[in-house]
Amino acid sequence: MTTQSDYSICDNPLITRYASREMAELFSPQRRISTWRRLWIILAEAEAELGLPISQEQIEEMRAHVDDIDWAKAAEYERRLRHDVMAHVHTFGDACPKARPIIHLGATSCYVTDNTDLLLMREGLQILAPRLAAVIDRLGRFAQQYRDLPCLSFTHFQPAQPTTVGRRACLWAYDFVLDLQELEYRLSQLRARGVQGTTGTQASFLALFQGDHEKVKRLNKLVCQKMGFPGSYAITGQTYSRKIDAQILALLSQIADTAHKVATDIRLLAHRKEIEEPFEKDQVGSSAMPYKRNPMRCERICGLARFVMSLEANAHMTHAVQWFERTLDDSANRRLVIPQAFLAVDAILILCCNVFEGLVVYPQVITKNLRAELPFMATEEILMAAVQAGGDRQDLHERIRQHSQAVARVIKEQGGENDLIERLRADPAFAKVNFAEVTDPLRYVGRSREQVDEFLSEIVEPIRRRYPACTSMEADVRV
């Protein structure tokens, strides 16, 4: 919570305005340094189990001080030492005098920093997964509700063929489904850095265990198990490969670009007065124009999404400039990029869920807009019906062409209405055509409704079963 004194310095809007408390706490200093301490305990436990002279009393002393961090003391140590890990080694050691001699034994700084980053990213993905599922669930509900409502589809943002509002929602949902599949894959592939020593050679641990290679391998396996990972990356330098960060940022960017695309579609539909995001009773659209109903939520989604998408390139550049076993120019950069990307995607998915569960649909406007274009789309059916009634195909084709061009001139040059159906109905050559039948919009939606049913059954329902909490997950937008 921001206090009065905090308003004199810059804040992070991702935390104060947009992201969830859960995600903000995940990347907090408290969580990070407490995790460092847990990793020092894990290392000590594993080393003791493999025969190093570390007592249970020392381990219990460390366990008793996992979360009570003396931040002022740590800051003072860092001012003197110019090294954040050593500052916290000393701070932890001051709190645990019996364990001080064995804290960080054999480890390099990246034992705590890199393993912590992997743990935090894993938990961050575990937070995002059900949020993604909730977004898919809301779009699935919307698709079911509007399965049968015909609307105009577009290619090149030009009128194409009729579809249904429900089927369009399935298109939106499927991109999020692909993102969820990628997220689940990335989660399944995450590994620990483990205990690899200063440059990844494990030389310090080999010395601790007096040249016993098997004990060093068992130590690494044991530490990874205690961290909840199936193992470590096959080989590392001082750090795990920064390509892993790039892969995670690519995933987050993909989620962002999906949200951007869908939010943009909704903004365009709002311009057409067909579908709008939720707009609250006391909400103000514009400080100058009281009548405005601006798509604020979708615009915010797009703004946050562009930020996330810009971070992916940063992660690739960081990986590209890691000389040999490691350079430190990744450190300050990653402190910014990784948490910010997770916070922003968290905020995006909360917004998406909020928007999708409150979408406002205007069926009469949708039908009006469709019927303004439908006569042109129905001409092939009208032609075939007239031929089946005994007409000459070539003559009928020419008559439709002439009527169509005349109508197009009225629409474009005079701003008139599309009265092609009325013109054809008045033409004796089409007297036997059942115009009510051939101008029914549902005649032209193909398998749209059936595809909605299949998509919900085959794609959405399994996700709901995997993430049962997604159907009741709240998506409150704070500002």
CB 247 within 8 A of CB 338: no
Do 66 and 38 touch, CB atoms closer than 8 A?
yes
Split at pLDDT 50, 70, 90, the class of 169 is very high
Is residue 472 among the annotated active site residues?
no
The CA distances from residue 34 to 40, 118, 120, 140, 257, in Å, are 10, 14, 12, 40, 34
Decide which of 291 and 79 is more confident: 79
Query: What tens digit of pLDDT does each residue of 440-474 get?
Result: 999 999 999 999 999 999 999 999 999 999 998 88
- 360 pairs with which residues across the strands? 276
Q: 118-141, pLDDT tens digit by residue?
A: 999 999 999 999 999 999 999 999
Looking at 156, 188, 287, 472, which residue is catalytic?
A: 156
Q: Where in the chain is the domain with CATH 1.10.40.30?
A: 379-438
d(CA 360, CA 432): 41
For 4, the token pair is: 């009065």
What is residue 474's predicted lDDT score, i.e. its pLDDT?
85
Read off the pLDDT band of 1 (50, 70, 90): very low
Confidence of residue 289 (pLDDT cuts 50, 70, 90): low
Average pLDDT, the chain: 94
> Given pLDDT bands bounded at 50, 70 and 90, which one contains residue 86?
very high
Nearest to 44 by CA among 4, 95, 103: 103
29 CB-near residues (< 8 Å, 6+ apart): 71
Every domain of the chain with CATH number 1.20.200.10 lies at 109-361+456-463
- Residue 293: per-residue pLDDT: 76
Looking at the chain, the whole-number percentage of residues with pLDDT higher than 70 is 96
**Cα of 25 vs its chain's centroid, Å:** 19
Least trusted range by pLDDT, from 244-253, 341-350, 382-391: 382-391
Alpha carbon 437 to its chain's center: 44
The domain 26-102 having CATH identifier 3.80.10.10: the answer here is no
Catalytic residue among 55, 83, 271, 286: 286
**CATH number assigned to the domain covering 379-438:** 1.10.40.30
Nearest to 471 by CA among 146, 47, 130: 130
Q: Decide yes or no: CATH 1.20.200.10 for domain 109-361+456-463.
A: yes
The helix or strand, by DSSP H or E, that contains position 372, with its residue range, turns out to be helix 363-377
286 noted as active-site residue = yes
Residues of the chain with CATH 1.10.275.10: 26-102
